Each structure stands twice: as structure tokens, then as C-alpha cells.
Amino acid sequence: MAVVGRALGALLAQLPHRRPLDSIQGMPELPEVETLRRGLAGLLPGRVVRGAELGLPKLLAAAPPDGLAVLVGRPVERVERHGKLLGLRCGPWTLLLHLRLTGQLVFVDGGTRFAGGHPVPPFDAPLPGRMTHLALAFDRGALYLNDQRQFARARLLPAAEAAAFVDAQALGPSPLDADLTPQRLAERLARHARLPVKGALLDQRTVAGLGNIYADESLFLAGLHPARRAGALGSAEGARLLGAMRRALAVALERGGAVVINGRAVPLPGKDFLLVHGRAGQPCRACGAKVLKERIAGRGTYFCPRCQG
């Protein structure tokens, strides 16, 4: 492992391995990333980076010549979210983190442990572990990026370049943005007029942060069949869809999101709030008809044939 910073091994070794767990679970959609951002925003700002360890060079897709060492001595100022990207702002630098399908972040400081992302390895596993690919040690505590399948990516960029990188992703507005009106949504959907509405919603240029789970949930709440052409929705249907996206995300945010194992949502006991996604063959919660699963827009799509007829 490439080690930068001072006495990092000793710093990491001091950290407790098994502690009470305070975690949110799930990836990779807006509610999970936003819940992760909120948790980290309450923990990281003010902590000073003392060392950084990169165990998987390909994970750091962009960095200055000195790599993560430029962060040493700098406090985290804030934790941002852009679509599904998290950004840690440290002085003139922004560390962008994209957990993708199987990434996980765990912050540990004494008895405090906060984790989010993919639930494998277990959130209370000893750290750093075999799947730890990046670790930041702070004056108090450490943040670990773990990823069993090594899809996660980090970019360490000057803050202005990080903003440009985010812009270049051409992310659409968040469904939660107050200035996203039904008319603006309709205009964005119209760019994908011939796609199924499910596919248009998954395109992050239409709206940012919605993935397979919450696209299904939103379309169910709006009473829209996922295979409808995006360009064929009337204005009342567009307004219904916007309201439905906000409700689906609000419910998930309140609960901290779903657990996602290899792309499939698995509600936790007590978190069984998904209405159609992952419920093929089970009765629709609204009408009792059997929830169907079909491949639409290239993705396994769950819907109620009666409510979304």
C-alpha cells in the first residue's frame, strides 16, 4: 500500500475495531447518498486530515502529482452532494467520491461509527479490511472507503475543476429542487420523447439521483405505466409524476433508504416501505393485483398492471 502522511499505520491501528453501530444502509440512489451526506456533514467538518492511504491506485481516477498528500494538514470544510457524487471540500481541494454499485463509506471515531452504502462487508467489520481501498485519517477518527467489487471511484481536484467536472456530467436538476416545475420536467422528458418514461427517468440528464428503485416507486405513485413514451405524457401526468418523485424520495429520506445488494433492493425489517420495487408476485399495496416484473428500458422494472394500466 502506498502510504502518505505521517505515521499513518500507527494512527489507523489506534482506532477501535468493533463498536456500537450507527448506520444508514443502501446505495446508490439519491436518498441513500443524501442520507450519507447528511451523516458525514454532521461528523467531518473541522476534522483535520493527518494521513491518507490508497490501496487501489485505479480507484483514484484523478489527482495532483502529490496525490492525496495535498490534503494532509487541511480540515474538511463541508460535505457536498452532486447527484450521486459526494464531495469533501478541504481548502482549495475537493475529493469527489462515487460509490457506484458496491462502494461503502464508514467513519469511525472511538465509540462513534457511521456507515452508508453497500452493506457488504458488514458495517461493523474490523477496519481497515481486505476491501478497504482508501482511508483518510483525521486528528480524530478515520474515514474508510470499502468496495468488494472495486467499482467505486475518487477524484481529487482543485475545487474549481471539481465544479467543472460535476457540470460536465450534465446532471439534470434534483427532483427535490423547488425550481423544478412540472413544465421544466416535461421539457426534459421531451428530450427523450421516444424512450419509455422509465428510461428517461434513469437518464441522469433528465433528473439527477433517481435510479432503478425510485424510478419504479415514482411511476407507481404517479399511476403511470413505465413503458409509456416519455414524450406522450400530458401536462397533468407530468405534474403527477413530479409530485410522485418527491413523495417517493421524501419517504425514503425519512427512513434512510433501502439496502441494496448487488443492485437489488432488499428492505430491512421495519424498513419495508417500498411499494412495488422488488415485490414481483406480491399483492399491490393499493389494489391487491399481483405486482409484475418486466424488462423495460433495459432494467428489471416492477409495476402494478392495474394501478399503472
Query: Where on the chain is the footprint of Zn ion (CB under 5 A)?
Result: 284, 286-287, 289, 304, 306-307
Give min distance, CB of 160 to Zn ion, in A. Answer: 49
Contact 139, 62 (CB under 8 A): no
Concerning whether 290 is annotated as a catalytic residue, the answer is no
Minimum CB distance to Zn ion smaller for 149 or for 306: 306
Type and span of the H or E element at 133: strand 132-138
Give min distance, CB of 300 to Zn ion, in A. Answer: 18
- Of the residues 29, 32, 34, 237, only one is catalytic, namely 29
What is the layout of strands, in order, in the sheet containing 153-158?
Answer: 60-62, 153-158, 93-98, 85-90, 78-82
Give min distance, CB of 283 to Zn ion, in A. Answer: 8
Give min distance, CB of 72 to Zn ion, in A. Answer: 56
Helices (H), 15-158: 30-41
Three cell numbers at 145?
Answer: 472507503
Distance separating alpha carbons of residues 275 and 27, to the nearest angstrom: 18
Measured in residues, the chain has a length of 309
Minimum CB distance to Zn ion smaller for 115 or for 304: 304
Three cell numbers at 257?
Answer: 433508504
- Of the residues 47, 81, 84, 89, only one is catalytic, namely 84
Minimum CB distance to Zn ion smaller for 233 or for 284: 284
- Of the residues 50, 153, 198, 299, only one is catalytic, namely 299
Distance separating alpha carbons of residues 297 and 54, to the nearest angstrom: 37
Minimum CB distance to Zn ion smaller for 123 or for 303: 303
Concerning whether 182 is annotated as a catalytic residue, the answer is no
Minimum CB distance to Zn ion smaller for 163 or for 289: 289
- Amino acid letter, residue 25: Q
Concerning whether 187 is annotated as a catalytic residue, the answer is no
Concerning whether 29 is annotated as a catalytic residue, the answer is yes
Give min distance, CB of 253 to Zn ion, in A. Answer: 24
Closest CA to 202 of 104, 256, 192: 192
Closest CA to 157 of 149, 147, 167: 167
Three cell numbers at 27?
Answer: 446505495
Q: Which residues are marked as active site?
A: 28-29, 84, 299
